Structure 1
């Protein structure tokens, strides 16, 4: 059986870090934390069994293997961008296009979508999955629900509330944070290390995922405690599929931001509906 390829995100982190010779600058460009970029590059090096960078006190330097790999990765990413550009010609006039992460679509929009369709049966919807903050730079959606810091994605957008991190678990999972397995969403500024610094003792994370949505899904199935955005978990808490594992919460350095295209009545209707969800 052919060996599977490493995740595209690892190559993207490597390519950005190689151009900037800095994990920090790469993180700023692609909308991740410096530690997440460093972890993904390290994962790629481990997978390929070669060092791609020499880590020096004043920055990075490409190794010979890194210099050999960079043009091939860069060309591949450019090919993918060109291939998808053909289909990225903007939203159709008869269709409302909403760009959001899978986590937002699953945990915020989907539980309430039938109510929106009942209010607005004439609106046809198309959802685009987004991951990176720079996915929103192309004007292809009528409504965008962006995730990141205010500096990254908040310009011209409204921050959705509540925006704090809370620990959640399945109601059937018994125990406290000192003994329960923890689920960590990597690539975000806040996490269990911050919890230990600011709130209380907790075990080291045992499961790592790349989104709050996946963390919630694993927690709902009884796999541990997830520290996630409160707004993402609101419906799950109200319906009882998840419960608070601790009464405390943490301020979040990132959040969800709602942007709406000007002059589009359907986009305004959808945005107003999303804003009402905060108070339901």
Structure 2
């Protein structure tokens, strides 16, 4: 069944064999044995390609779901074992720009607790037992979780010091029309997320690329592009603060009020089990860091 599922996804015995670390002949033989067992044909074997038969196409999603559940069950059993580390799951930009640079302060106080960072945009399912703590950015409506607000956030434009020096004078909002705007796609938050159109409207100015232009799938990428001098990014104060302190970027228009996002960063964890002492110590540390 594993051989059939892999071959169905790739429509190739060769690629399925590479995934499962066996030979293409072994995949073909295992699929043939499955077909012989049920007395059916799962693939049409053409000279240059495989295609699923009707019954093969019907069986594939059911089998894939079953194998996914088996994998999740195995992970839950594996993760149920006692572990001597704490896993924090967080969005990539937050993890790399805010969380990771602060881990040294945690180690200085809790040198015996190992922290592992799982940086991903997808919301982690805590039921599988892998993650102990999560950082989420949104409205705070996360059912079946213990939820604590960490901090609010606001947004303002930043750019490279070299770009400011080349500009030769103090930036005015209308000057933005001479430069490329760097946009962030927020698939999870969609149109409610902070964007250039909102900021420009609040600043009472316009830009031809208010809705279009250079786009990035994460705030961190847009910020790094601004650091390189590629354009001007609208970024979170929390994500940009260390780069601003280090002088890699500068905030523009500090006399203008930053754009409020309407969202917060939240600390979340499962609420159906008593957290380990190590988990609570990491939570306490995150609360302290969020106030500094």
TM-score range, shorter chain: 0.5 to 0.7
Sort the Cα spacing of 1:143 and 1:167 in 2 relative to 1 into closer, same or farther, 3 A. same
Matches within 5 A, 1:59-98: 78=65, 81-82=68-69, 85=72, 86-87=74-75, 89-90=78-79, 92-98=82-88
Deviation at 1:75, TM superposition (A): 6.8
Q: CA–CA distance in 2 between the matches of 1:173 and 1:207?
A: 17
Tell me if 1:209 matches 2:216: yes
Counterparts of 1:147 and 1:214 in 2: how far apart (Å)?
17
**Is 1:252 equivalent to 2:268 in the alignment?**
no
Which residue of 2 is the match for residue 31 of structure 1? Answer: none
The answer to whether the 8 A contact 2:157-2:235 is kept is: yes
In 2, the alpha carbon distance for the partners of 1:137 and 1:264 equals 16
Which TM-score applies when normalising by structure 2?
0.62
Displacement of 1:201 = 2.0
Rounded Cα–Cα distance in structure 2 between residues aligned with 1:220 and 1:243:
9
Asked if residue 164 in structure 1 is aligned to residue 154 in structure 2, the reply is yes
Q: Is the 8 A contact 1:133 1:152 kept in 2?
A: no
From 111, 114, 122, give the equivalent of 1:124.
114
Partner of 2:232: 225
Residue 133 (structure 1) shift: 3.2
Name 1:173's counterpart in structure 2: 163
Q: CA RMSD in A?
A: 3.1
How far has the Cα of 1:232 moved from its partner? 1.7
* CA distance in structure 1 between the aligned counterparts of 2:60 and 2:153, rounded to whole angstroms: 37
C-alpha distance in 1 between matches for 2:119 and 2:71: 14
User: CA offset at residue 265 of structure 1?
Assistant: 2.0
Q: Deviations over 1:92-151 (max 9, x none)?
A: 521111111221221011212112112111001222222123655654311111122333
In structure 2, relative to structure 1, the CA distance for the partners of 1:233 and 1:83 (3 Å cut) is: farther
Say whether the 8 Å CA contact 1:162–1:230 is kept in structure 2: no
Could you list the runs of 5+ residues in structure 2 that have no partner in the other structure? 1-56, 168-174
Post-superposition CA distance 1:37-59 (Å, at most 9, x none):
xxxxxxxxxxxxxxxxxxxxxxx
Task: Give the stretch that moved more between structures: 248-257 or 80-89.
Answer: 80-89
Structure 2 Cα separation of the partners of residues 240 and 260 of structure 1: 35
SS of the aligned residue for 1:173 comes to helix
| Equivalent position SS for 2:177 | coil
1:165 deviates by 1.6
Secondary structure in 1 matching 2:141:
helix
Residues 178 and 240 (structure 1), Cα distance of their counterparts in 2 relative to 1, 3 Å cut: same
Residues 225 and 159 from structure 1, CA distance in 2 versus in 1: closer, same or farther, beyond 3 angstroms?
Answer: farther
Q: TM-score, normalised by structure 1?
A: 0.64
CA distance in 2, matches of 1:235, 1:72: 52
Contact 1:162-1:278 at 8 Å conserved across structures: no
Asked if residue 269 in structure 1 is aligned to residue 266 in structure 2, the reply is no
Could you list the runs of 5+ residues in structure 1 that have no partner in the other structure?
Answer: 1-69
Note the C-alpha offset of 1:76.
9.8
**Cα distance in structure 1, aligned partners of 2:185 and 2:97:** 19
TM-superposed CA distance for 1:256, in Å, is: 1.8
Answer with 107-116 or 240-249: which moved more.
240-249
Q: Which residue of 2 aligns with 1:39?
A: none
Q: How does 1:7-86 map to 2 (within 5 A)?
A: 78=65, 81-82=68-69, 85=72, 86=74
